[in-house]
Amino acid sequence: MSSYEVPAAIRTPEARRPAIAPKFNLSIRWISGLTLVVLLAAWWAITASGLIEPLFLPSPSAVLQKGWLLATSGYMDATLWQHLGASLGRIGLGLLFAVLTAVPVGIAIGANRVARGVLDPLIEF
């Protein structure tokens, strides 16, 4: 049995990695939280400075006050929850109509070559 040995001149020493300073590692939660805090602080600072009129950019406290007023006393003789229910009902009805239309069309396109030829250009357009 023979062994093969690489001559010392050909051997390359293991490359040393350059010393890198330890990275400051923040978790995604911290980054997200800090982003929200910075955006809220910027919103507050811009409204406090008066650069933009409150009609176009109300302060965070004004938004919270109005939101609380809408949640407790309602708007146009209906509570916020009634408005939310009506909006969710419209969304659900639209989803129902979309599913009742799209599923049969998808089945027809998948099952029939003529239906695919007729309906596919309308969908792909």
User: What end-to-end distance do the CA atoms of the chain give, in Å?
Assistant: 72
Q: Are residues 117 and 78 in the same domain?
A: yes
pLDDT digits (tens, 9 = 90+) for 64-108: 999 888 888 888 888 888 889 999 999 999 999 999 999 999 999
How many H-runs (helices) and E-runs (strands) does the chain carry? 4, 0
114, with CB counted inside 10 A (0-12, 13-18, 19+), is exposed
Q: Are residues 95 and 59 in the same domain?
A: no
pLDDT on residue 7: 63
pLDDT digits (tens, 9 = 90+) for 9-26: 666 666 676 666 656 677
Q: Give the range of the structural domain holding residue 118, as residue numbers without chain letter.
A: 74-125
Give the pTM: 0.48
Q: Do the domain assignments include residue 20?
A: no
